[in-house]
Amino acid sequence: MPSRKNTTPLGPIRKFTITEEKATFRSRQGTLDVVFLKDDVVRLRAVKKGQNEPDRSFAVIPTGWDKPETRITVRGDSVILATSNLSVRISLKTGRIRILSADRTDLFRNAEIAWSGAGVGLIWKMPKDRHIYGTGERTGPLDKRGTRMAYWNTDRSGYPVEQDPLYQSIPFALCMDGPRAHGFFFDNTFRQDWEFSPLGKTKAKMTADDGALDLYVMASGTPSAVLERWTELTGRMSLPPLWALGYQQCKWSYYPESVVRDIADQFRQRSIPCDVIYLDIDYMDAYKDFTWHPERFPDPPKLVSDLRDQGFRTVVMLDPGVKVEEGYDVYETLKQAGFVVRNADGTPFIGPVWPGDCLFPDFTDAACREWWGKWYKGLLDLGVAGFWNDMNEPAVFDAPGHSLPLDAVFSGDGYPGDHRRFHNIYGMQMVRGTTEGLRALRPDQRHFVLTRAAYAGTQRYAAAWTGDNCSDWPSLRISIPMLLNFGLSGQAFCGPDIGGFAGTATPELFARWLQVGALYPFCRTHYAAAPQSGHPDINAVPTQEPWSYGDEWEEINRASLELRYKLLPYLYTVFEEITRTGMPVMRPLFLQYPDDPKTACIEDEFLIGSDLLCAPILDEGRYSRELYLPKGLWYDYWSGECLEGGRKITASAPIDVLPLFARAGSAIPTQDVVQHTGEAVNKPIVWQVWPDSGFKAIGTLYEDDGETLAYTRGDFKRTTLTLSGTKENPETSLQHEGGYTGRPQEIVIAA
């Protein structure tokens, strides 16, 4: 939207009406609706006069919230609407807005809605010391104060560390005023631009190219409570299959079949844990979806079956572009059905991607999503376990903006519109079709879907990775704040390409990256071969497997993955917590310690769940580092040394050590190292108990079959371990919930 002087504000309110459902304010320029959804959640929706804007959302789902009691006061030239936790003041004289929390914190002060042409924006003032997090997939610092950001899903291979925007658009912010938190979501699928002035200044601005200003404000007090509201509003991820938490190995591309088999054999012969092998785009026949290359992969069922016998799941890639080729059944049925993205003149849009000229399914059409989902039957019947939807920004080669034309036409599930409106939700609707199709085909099975492009709420359908990053130290460093903000935005099952996608990782870089990557929520190595590096032989380029750098590095890399598999019972328990609370797996320190101001901008450390703190090495040639331990007692995970928190310490970190700390008072469920998750069934759970100063500790373990939806019918086991007594006479108790049998359990007091 142009500068403020070229905009038209909402302006003086000429009329307002208040019903049980909402309060409506009308000016000469437009209409503003205010609706309290809960006592700490309010929605403000402004539409320009004469604009026919459908009131619907791709992100927000029914919450089941009870409508709160709302008090309405007319005071002077203002109308005040308030619940017990939130108030909205509308100036009848100016149309400006003030939103306050129960403790009188200004969430939005002097906020002005304004239009410029079709564009809409909001300008407001915020406290000088407010911190801003979330905002989806972002490079740069953890705290987004002082940054400009765009929301427009963009394919950017080998992106630099300052790249903006990237592949995913989640226009949600988590804001901290000291220990108090609130959040806001600008639900508008057109391109958005946000700008927050630096610390010490007060201006904030966000605009959208078209559509309504649809703003949800959450004022729940603690950051964890805000995330609970946010993920109730947009949905939470389902519990993934256990194997999806294992290590995953990928290359662009492993082929032919003999290479895939060799990779699998190498993992098992070298005793390096791994659960998943990916087949990138080259497994297809001429890059055509739902096909197999007849020479590279002559017998897919046997290959997938043999890999499964070795403990590997197979995940395959699928892109949205459907090759224009007479006789190709996917193309023929799509063309006949007609649910394709169209040019402004109504003809089908055809654009080049990997297969050449392609049609693009219109995933904003429910019939198209159903058609797409049914095609997965053949792959499921072959035994393929997971699906990777790529290029779904959507990317188009040799096209303006590297995507579909802005005037391309979509059905919009009954509300037709152009690509400007639907660009940012194209990838989301693609994985929606994928996941809904898988659920229809295998209704009692959990499914794993991975996406590159997304909008708010995509966590309901897919995990996400951060796209085509680089094999360099800056890309390793930015992965931490990227994933932390991703998790704060609702997309908790996330990770980057370990080792980097574009370029070649050095042995040291790969080892350090795998150390921290073993604790990412989504743990996958992925790298580019010939198509990017220019080598004529795709199998002659430098490799990026854990054994690629020689025996010494292989030993270090094996130990990193063994740590992940040892901690899988704890990781799985934290993943189950997401499905109930929305709290991410990978957490910034301030999320767990909002009362400690020193945690506000720490972006090179993180928590896994509430009980493990990781402070990785992120620079070449470093063998120690300074880090901050939050208040309380902490144990060095490796030595057992007890350390006082609330201060900085220096940790030794030789090349084979990841600085890792356990919170005193925690009990962490672990297991013996296995080569894949299928081997863990009969292994005992080993509780690592880390007592606090009063020799007390508590921890939780969640178990189920790891594969089906039986847990939703009560077939799970939640165990709570409690430690008391003294070091000389420890007392432990185990309390169980649920009907699942579970594994035998052992208790080890680690310190």
- Report phi then psi at 317, rounded to 5: -90, 145
The answer to whether residue 407 is catalytic is no
- Nearest C-alpha neighbor of 426 from the set 460, 447, 455: 455
Q: Report the Cα 587 to chain-centroid distance in Å.
A: 12
What H or E segment, with its residue span, contains residue 735? Answer: strand 730-737
DSSP assignments along 209-252, one per residue: SSS-EEEEEEEEESHHHHHHHHHHHH--PPPPPGGGGS-EEEEE
- 258 to each of 8, 47, 264, 348, 489, how far by Cα in Å? 65, 59, 10, 40, 41
Q: Which of 214, 257, 390, 554 is catalytic?
A: 390
DSSP summary character for residue 520? S
On the CB side of 98, CA atoms within 13 Å amount to: 13
Active-site annotation holds for 393: yes
What's the distance, CA 458 to chain centroid? 8
Q: Which of 35, 89, 107 is nearest to 65 (CA)?
A: 35
- What are residue 149's phi and psi, to 5 degrees? -140, 145
Backbone φ and ψ for 418, nearest 5 degrees, come out as -100, 180
Total number of residues shown for the chain: 751
Three-state secondary structure call for residue 461: coil
Any idea of the CA torsion for 733, 738, 744, 748, to the nearest 10 degrees?
Answer: -30
E strands, 55-95, in order? 71-75, 78-82, 86-91
Do residues 572 and 578 lie in contact, with contact meaning Cβ atoms separated by under 8 Å? no
DSSP 8-state class, residue 355: T
Q: Tell me, rounded to whole angstroms, the distance of Cα 364 from its chain centroid.
A: 22
Amino acid at 435: T
Q: Are 671 and 568 in contact (CB under 8 A)?
A: yes
Quick check: is 112 catalytic?
no
- Residue identified by tokens 């690592």 is 688
| C-alpha atoms less than 13 angstroms from C-alpha of 544 in its C-beta half-sphere | 30
Catalytic residue (one of 210, 393, 413, 545):
393
User: Peptide bond preceding 394: is omega within 30 degrees of 0, i.e. cis?
Assistant: yes
* Tokens 């966000």, located at residue: 206
Question: By the 8 A CB rule, do 734 and 717 touch?
Answer: no
Written in H, E and C, the secondary structure of 393-430 is CCCCCCCHHHCCCCCCEECHHHCCEEHHHHHHHHHHHH
The one catalytic residue in 40, 187, 289, 468 is: 468
10 Å Cβ neighbour count for 232? 19
Angle between helices 223-234 and 568-581 (to 10 degrees): 70
How many other CB atoms are found less than 10 A from the CB of residue 70? 21
CA distance 475 to 176: 27
Q: Which residues are catalytic?
A: 390, 393, 468
